Amino acid sequence: MKLTIPEGYSPLQDPVQTERAIKMVKDFFQSNLSSEMRLRRVTAPLFVLRGTGINDDLNGTERAVNFPIKDMDDQVAEVVHSLAKWKRMTLGKLDISSGYGLYTDMNAIRADEELTNIHSLYVDQWDWEVVMDKEQRNIEFLKRVVNRLFEVFKRTEYQIFEEYRELEPQLPEHITFLHTEELLEMYPDKTPFERETEAAKKYGAIFIIGIGGVMSNGKKHDGRAPDYDDWSTETVNGFKGLNGDIVIWNPILERAFEISSMGIRVDKKALLHQLEHEDKIERKELLFHKMLLNDQLPLTFGGGIGQSRLCMYFLRKAHIGEVQASLWPDEMIEKCEANKIFLM
């Protein structure tokens, strides 16, 4: 059982106050996200059909929860892992103009998740996606988007402070951009997670570029599916990647804390290159991939922002189960209760 008990931890809100604060965080953040990024809210599916290529396969090893559909000749549906591809298809259907997009509440079940302070079987995030122009497929544009999102995080943090004075703002004034290669150079003898933790502690908030690509040491910083984010395009100084993760320093758990992954999505060239690189070229025959290769989908950028992770950080909670209802091992529940960590 991977459980961290912060020394001297005591929650700053009781369960009733926590529920009120969660609603405040979610209401304020999504309203500001919508206005800042020019997003309209849409309703999203909990499951999609297997074999269409629409579901996100994350690192390629996680099993999707699935079930047969009685009234559809037992075709198999899969609970989504994320909505990265579905959002892009929906933008095409709605014929949304460049510079505008959508967001939705994404709910998922990840049965293979290792349960820890920050990982749950239940995943809730704001999935968002925006239509873009071809000329915007560059690292400078990606950084501008990240900076805009970070401003929404900071506004939300300050709004919470106005209501709960014990929750003093801790995010830095600016987010720092680092490529996976730069992290490797800075901390060559550490694991990817240790590099993130050292950098997050130093800068407060970082955006790690190039998730999914192979680094100069022959390894990946972390996995990313080959068919939504573009992690193979050449960028500044020979570094590759038009995607990344927003990682902040968590002072309660004293570790790196990922709250968002995002990126400029693959075009036809990047899709084929990454499918070949990952030995997944057979996917080009799937529905989503055929639509992209046949110019039936818009160019987009987008990502996901963890709702419970965000609440956990802003409310200074030690366990994600303090801000969401899920299932936990009995041993974890008992140990948490003994240390003033009350799981929903």
Q: What amino acid positions are annotated as catalytic residues? A: 56, 110, 125, 245, 258, 261
Q: Identify the DSSP state of 238.
A: G
DSSP string, 190-225: S-HHHHHHHHHHHHSEEEEE-TTSB-TTS-BSS---
> Do 231 and 210 meet the contact criterion of CB atoms below 8 Å apart?
yes
Counted residue by residue, the chain has a size of: 344
Q: CA 246 to CA 257: how far, in whole Å?
A: 8
Which two structure tokens, joined as six digits, stand for 344? Answer: 């929903």
Decide if 208 contacts 247 (C-beta within 8 A): yes
Burial (CB count within 10 angstroms: exposed 0-12, middle 13-18, buried 19+), residue 329: exposed
For residue 303, give every residue at least 6 positions away whose Cβ sits within 8 Å of its Cβ, in sequence order, or none.
127, 128, 260, 261, 262, 263
197: tokens are 């933790």
Sheet (strand 75-79) strand order: 47-49, 75-79, 66-69
